[in-house]
Structure 1
Amino acid sequence: MPLKQAILITAYKDFPQLERLTSEFDERFNIYIHIDKKSSLTSIERNVFLRNGNIKYLGQDYRVNWGGLNHLRAYLQLVQVALKNLDNQYFHLITGQDFPIQSNSYFDRYLDGKQDHMSAFTMPAAGWKNGGMDRLKYYQFYDLFNARKSTLWISRFRRLQINLGFKRKIPAYLGQLYGGNTYWSLSRSTLKYVVDFTKKNPRFFNRFRHTFCAEEIYFQTIIMNSTYRENVITDDLRYMDWKSGRGGFPAFLDPTDFEEIINSNKLFVRKLDMNANSLFEMLSSHRKNNP
């Protein structure tokens, strides 16, 4: 069997956009999707996805609240399922609001599995509020409350801990903490190490309960405290606009960003709204015309 690359996708809405995204990848890719358990996925929509033979897994295993640990659980689930297929040699984690920039044949150069692409920096981190340490020092109840609707009770519980002078201990077994952007492109050997480490060190995973955005620390900390750090290039190969704030952080992109995107030498762009602009078709055409 030919070697393949795995596309791991998390999504919770805009299923026509997700179907459009998955259609961009040819037979060189296997696709694994986790959809938020809170989302309503009809049998018709499910069948639309499964008509695409590249989609090997479509699960709704976890109720995912923004900032909560179930986001990390969903990632680990996708990784473990994709690793079962020995043909998968390289793995790209994206969302349903992302899109590939480069052609499918361009991706072939990553099949040698010699480099890992991941944003990673030591913590405390200058770019994160309080160095990002509050994420771990205080109980963060994002799994209990949906922050997309309200952060009132999450903020109240955090403020109560601060007022009482309470801080959770950050144990030495976590090692040097590292943070970074959530999405990465990693080799089979590196991801297998992360999965094996997680199984052998349950207390390591459990310490991330009731933290904030554990997925922005977990993979980075495990990998950068191992010999696999030697393979890491700290460029996640994602084009994102964190400055303009058009519709959020990162910003929603539109056709005015096209030239900068295609000249960025990145693999993926995020984030996009198919209903709002024609950037989808511009990027799709670019991929086809630049093999």
Structure 2
Amino acid sequence: MRKQAFLFLVRQIDAATLDVMKMLDDPQHDFYVHVDAKSGPVALPTIAKALKYSHVVLVPRVAVGWAAYSMVAAEMQLLREATSAKTLYAYYHLLSESDFPLVSNQKFQAFFTDKDLEFVEIERNNDVNTRNRLRYYYPLQERLGKRHGFYWLMQKGLLVVEHLLRVNRLKHVQELPIIAKGSQWFSITDDFAKYVVSNSALVTRVCRVSRAPDEVFLQTLLLNSKFASKLAPQTSGNLRYIRWGQGNSPKSLGPKDFQALQQSGKLFARKISGLSDGLALRQLVRDEINKE
């Protein structure tokens, strides 16, 4: 049985992060961890001490900006490190500190036995809003964050000018006729992971000054490649249970969502925080897994 690689894209190594890692701790699971460079020093022994079985690798860190290219750069760093390891992995799973497993490690491994599908969510493709993420220049995106302040106003003004000038960065990107969007979290095969890494230069060229490319680059590479035929059914998606709220953002889950999680058929829940409601739901899930 080939091992599984878990790619942790996290803001910091806190109790919530270690809790997810301990749930997935298994001789068949290796962890590759990217911690936002803005969060300060990270010591590998802090993580390793909390685990019994999984091998842990800390990857070179990037200061991650919300909805900016740096998020893609961090993901690519994780994929690059994991695919270049001596171990040949069956699947690569991108997770955050708020993605909690819903099944035991044994059931998780059994699910991926003999699978050859790409579990990537495709929400839509080639609509105007999705293409505009890459069509225009967003040079201030790394500075914006979620607040609508001075830089946001400057970028809005720049976009008006770009629209009037009919700027279209995509007209020079013949390799990607389809631009697709979906949740950034994924479970993908070794072949596709290596294909993504082999296209690092293309990803950088298309995404460097774009907006929210973390929800676009993987889906776009997939649908414009031979791997499109291996896309998992829409009912499976990316195997994450997500309850969407306003503004296309996932809602935090609590105990009231437990029954829905049980009936979802998904392998992870997103997002279960380390706060009171999240901790209560994590315990319910943990108790259910321990019954197996």
- Structure 2, gaps ≥5 residues long: none
CA distance in 2, matches of 1:138, 1:5: 37
Measure how far apart 1:154 and its partner are: 3.0
- The two structures have a TM-score, normalised by structure 1, of 0.87
Please state if 1:94 is matched with 2:92: no
Give SS of 2:4's match. strand
Please state if 1:159 is matched with 2:157: yes
Q: Is contact 1:237–1:267 with CA below 8 Å preserved after alignment?
A: yes
Q: Is contact 1:90–1:186 with CA below 8 Å preserved after alignment?
A: yes
Number of positions where the alignment pairs a residue of Structure 1 with one of Structure 2: 278
Cα 1:151/1:115, change in 2 over 3 Å: farther
Among 132, 135, 138, the residue aligned to 2:133: 135
Q: Is contact 1:38–1:63 with CA below 8 Å preserved after alignment?
A: yes
Measure how far apart 1:182 and its partner are: 0.4
CA distance in 2, matches of 1:282, 1:244: 26
Q: Deviations over 1:100-132 (max 9, x none)?
A: 11111111221324111111255234xxxx432
Tell me which moved more, 8-17 or 164-173: 164-173
Q: Give the structure 1 partner of residue 188 of structure 2.
A: 186
Question: Which structure shows the bigger proportion of residues in helix conformation?
Answer: 2
Measure how far apart 1:87 and its partner are: 3.4
Aligned pairs for 1:1-291 (under 5 A) are 2-13=1-12, 15-25=14-24, 26-41=26-41, 43=43, 46-51=44-49, 52=51, 53-83=53-83, 84-108=85-109, 109-125=111-127, 130-148=128-146, 150-163=148-161, 165-166=164-165, 167-171=167-171, 172-198=174-200, 202-233=201-232, 234=234, 235-243=237-245, 249-277=249-277, 278-290=280-292
Which of structure 1's runs of 4+ aligned residues deviate more than 6 A? Answer: none
- The two structures have a TM-score, normalised by structure 2, of 0.87
Aligned partner letter, 2:134: L
CA distance in 2, matches of 1:134, 1:175: 14
Q: Is contact 2:66–2:142 with CA below 8 Å preserved after alignment?
A: no
Cα 1:40/1:148, change in 2 over 3 Å: farther
| Cα RMSD (Å) | 2.2
Task: Report percent identity of matched pairs.
Answer: 22
Q: Is contact 1:239–1:266 with CA below 8 Å preserved after alignment?
A: yes
Q: Is contact 2:62–2:74 with CA below 8 Å preserved after alignment?
A: yes
Give SS of 1:263's match. helix
Q: Is contact 1:90–1:187 with CA below 8 Å preserved after alignment?
A: yes
Give SS of 1:207's match. helix
